[in-house]
Amino acid sequence: MPVPVPRQRTGSEVERTAATPDTADSTQNQEQDQNRNRATGTAASADSADAVGGADGAATAAPCGHLTLLVIEDDPAGPFSVPELPEGGGTRVRIRTARNLTEAARLLTDDIDCLLVDLALPGAAADDGLGPLSRVLRLAPHHAVLALADEGDAERAAAAVRAGAQDYLFRDELDGRLLSRTIRYAVERKRADGAQRQLTESRLHAQENARLERGLLPTPLLEGSELRFASRYRPGRSRALLGGDFYDTVRTPDGTVHAMIGDVCGHGPDEAALGVELRIAWRALTLAGIGGDTLLATLQQVLECERQSDEVFATLCTVDIEPEGRGATVRLAGHPAPLVARRGEDARLLSYEHSGPALGLLPGGRWPSRRVELGDSWDVMIYTDGLIEGRVGAGSSRRLGEDGMAEMVNEQLAAGLRCDALIEAALARVEELNGGDLTDDVAVLLLGRGENAPAPPALVGPAAP
């Protein structure tokens, strides 16, 4: 036969702490001591040593099979009782009681594993008889919640589960084993529900990122061009959408193909946003027919207006390929030089002889141009420094560098790789040499002409012959 649970028992399998008028002050003082202990990092009091709180505020099961239950019922000295577990029963249930929701809010601490709310509390008429439960669910969104009902009130008990409770118990069927098992089930179910919710949110976030990425990364405007095009972008930050690298390619009405790649110093979201702004500004200026020093000076002005700090700068490389495709003009603003592979020759880096300062470093900067003869068949690869700053061997301090990258690309060209296959192989090899993912952002853009070049698409808009 069930017997009332003792208020303070030591050595028994079930313990009960009742917040009555006689003990309310001492309970409040004890909680204040616990809060001070948590704030100062000192040891918690013995009353809360059997349970710990989760990192996200959700209650977690206490060690050694101990559980702490907060019972919310109108009369803590009344009908709620649990028989003691038999000898060697295992789980010990510590019970705290509150006579109303106001008192429950005061007693709700991180060491509570589960709440048991009496559906017969005053105010139950609200929300289809679930008023107290609804308030408890709002009060303790990270805790497991059980509903306590009379056996003849099974329909309302089931409705409590549909409303958000993890399970329900009938008052007349309680015993120690059932209570401890149900509490553990409720705690684990709440934890599983939380994990499933986080997984769903993560999937939705990934889908939103993919849609956002499609909007932020450029769509090349190469209608009417016979050039082949390939690009890849990989942010260095874990789970990042974009980094500080940016690139773009457009064909203007005179038939010139303009390509650009740049790198904002840093790896945070501010740098990523600034990179997108610079890319859009470059595209607008290029389509408006602005180029040379005027274009780069305007981009520098945009950077200076939008950057978060005066120390932020950006490197840039522009390549303007002539309408007939046999020559190009290159400008460097503190950026690594392009890699040019002509038919019958090894891929070679252009020199830094004609290079200007990075954007945002010097007011009134000048960026000299260099014309490059390309010939009939060629590939030009422009890239950010993330591609060349990877390590050569796990734990090695030696970087791949520009010469190492050129050698690697020549091996892939000799194997017959072109366009997308060439970029994919290059990135895979760099990561292999690094012993894992690269820590810096990487952007690579490749333009080619001649062997294996695609047929020119239909001409859209006016173009020079």
Q: What is the pLDDT of residues 293-306, one digit of tens each?
A: 999 999 999 999 99
Residues 6+ apart with CB under 8 A from 67: 51, 61, 91, 92, 93, 94, 113, 114, 180, 183, 184, 187
pLDDT of residue 304: 96
Q: How many CB atoms lie within 10 A of CB 377?
A: 16
pLDDT of residue 47: 37
pLDDT of residue 53: 35
> Do 149 and 119 touch, CB atoms closer than 8 A?
yes
Helices 292-306 and 269-287, axial angle in degrees (round to 10): 150
Q: How many CB atoms lie within 10 A of CB 45?
A: 13
CA angle 193, 198, 203 (to 5 degrees): 125
Taking alpha carbons only, the member of 370, 368, 369, 371 closest to residue 327 is 371
> Do 327 and 449 touch, CB atoms closer than 8 A?
no
Distance from C-alpha of 382 to C-alpha of 231, rounded to nearest angstrom: 10
pLDDT of residue 436: 85
pLDDT digits (tens, 9 = 90+) for 134-159: 889 998 998 999 998 888 888 989 99
Cα dihedral value 36, 39, 40, 43, nearest 10: 70
pLDDT of residue 158: 92
pLDDT of residue 284: 97
CA angle 292, 294, 300 (to 5 degrees): 110
In the sheet that 92-98 helps form, which strands lie side by side, from edge to edge? 14-18, 92-98, 66-72, 114-118, 144-149, 167-170
pLDDT of residue 350: 92
> Do 98 and 76 touch, CB atoms closer than 8 A?
yes
pLDDT of residue 282: 97
Taking alpha carbons only, the member of 85, 111, 113 closest to residue 12 is 85
Q: Which of the residues in the chain have pLDDT under 70?
A: 1-65, 75-91, 123-128, 208-215, 237-241, 394-395, 451-465
pLDDT of residue 243: 80
Per the structure block, which two tokens stand in for 357? Answer: 């300062």
Cα 145 to the chain's mean position, in Å? 30
pLDDT of residue 207: 74
Taking alpha carbons only, the member of 389, 384, 390, 385 closest to residue 435 is 390
CB-count exposure of residue 447 (10 Å: 0-12, 13-18, 19+): buried
